[in-house]
């Protein structure tokens, strides 16, 4: 595990020699994460339901070994088979980034149950299946803490402010992300003795192809301009957070939540309203 330990550390390639699995990485945030990890030196397995050709080519351009890992993460058997294939092709997985997601927007009392259950299965059970499969492999390879007290494996779960905000029309997604956060915190406690770090990342409103399922381009531009930072996040903004969390220098960070949201969770609406108060 953590094959980088046998190589001289290069600050420009902090993840050199490590293997990462990124789910939901054919486009959007997942694609940005896969590319950023490859740029930092990691070999990358790119998962999605579709063949992630563009992401694979972009990672290859950094000179990394890459493999396609097409699989439905909501299916435990397929997840375990995928992890086996990745480790056979690229070697032991040092970094898991669970990013795959699905969501509909419907009021819960009239929601289509097929979509509701799919959201739970992809966004909560999927990360659990991944965590379980990879944790067992990391534990089997772990060296005693006395011999290797630093990080021996990393897991990052891309969650959401939906974990604690009751966004209407998104009950399944809200539920799944709340469960995901608690799952990740529990995993962080249970895996600490093996020096496997587990962290969460909460992206803010990010400009991705998936947002076009709910909004037109003009709407996204308008809403983005109203945020404190004046724009929506990009996939690269979020990806830099993942690189930070799995960086060797972040050895003491586990069970934490990194929020990258351009200030969207700040009380900015109240702040802006003050500007419009009439002069006394």
pLDDT per residue as tens, the chain (280 positions): 554 444 567 888 999 999 999 999 999 999 999 999 999 999 999 999 999 999 999 999 999 999 999 999 999 999 999 999 999 999 999 999 999 999 999 999 999 999 999 999 999 999 999 999 999 999 999 999 999 999 999 999 999 999 999 999 999 999 999 999 999 999 999 999 999 999 999 997 676 676 667 776 777 777 667 787 678 878 999 999 999 999 999 999 999 999 998 777 777 666 555 455 555 5
Instruction: Determine the straight-line distance between the first and last CA of the chain, rounded to whole angstroms.
Output: 66
- Give 212's DSSP letter: G
Tokens of 248: 């060797």
Tokens of 270: 């109240």
Asked whether 86 and 45 are in contact (CB, 8 A), the reply is yes
CA–CA separation, 123 and 112 (whole Å): 17
CA–CA separation, 71 and 51 (whole Å): 10
CA–CA separation, 21 and 135 (whole Å): 13
Report which secondary-structure segment, H or E, holds 34. helix 28-39
Q: What would be the CATH architecture of the domain defined by 3-7+14-275?
A: 3-Layer(aba) Sandwich (3.40)
Asked whether 164 and 257 are in contact (CB, 8 A), the reply is no
Report which secondary-structure segment, H or E, holds 219. helix 217-225
> In whole angstroms, what separates CA 22 from the centre of its chain?
8
Domain locations in the chain as residue ranges: 3-7+14-275
Tokens of 137: 């492999």
């Amino acid at each position: 595990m953590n094959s980088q330990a046998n190589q001289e550390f290069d600050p420009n390639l902090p993840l050199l020699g490590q293997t990462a699995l990124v789910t939901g990485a054919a486009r959007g945030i997942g694609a940005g994460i896969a590319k950023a990890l490859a740029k930092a030196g990691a070999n990358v397995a790119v998962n999605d339901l579709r063949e992630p050709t563009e992401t694979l080519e972009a990672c290859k351009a950094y000179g990394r070994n890459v493999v396609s890992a097409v699989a439905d993460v909501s299916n435990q058997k397929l997840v375990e088979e995928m992890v086996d294939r990745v480790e056979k092709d690229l070697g032991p997985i040092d970094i898991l980034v669970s990013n795959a997601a699905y969501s509909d927007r419907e009021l819960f009392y009239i929601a289509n149950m097929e979509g509701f259950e799919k959201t739970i299965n992809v966004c909560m059970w999927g990360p659990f299946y991944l965590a379980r499969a990879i944790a067992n492999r990391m534990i089997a390879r772990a060296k005693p803490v006395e011999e290797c007290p630093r990080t021996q494996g990393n897991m990052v779960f891309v969650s959401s402010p939906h974990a604690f905000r009751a966004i209407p029309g998104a009950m399944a997604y809200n539920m799944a992300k709340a469960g995901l956060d608690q799952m990740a915190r529990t995993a962080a406690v249970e895996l600490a003795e093996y020096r496997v770090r587990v962290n969460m990342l909460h992206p803010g409103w990010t400009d991705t192809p998936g947002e076009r399922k709910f909004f037109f381009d003009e709407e996204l531009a308008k809403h983005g301009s109203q945020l404190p930072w004046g724009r929506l996040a990009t996939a690269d903004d979020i990806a830099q957070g993942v690189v930070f969390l799995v960086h060797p220098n972040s050895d003491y960070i586990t069970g934490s939540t990194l929020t990258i949201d351009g200030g969207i969770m700040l009380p900015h609406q109240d702040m802006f309203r003050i500007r419009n108060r009439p002069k006394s």
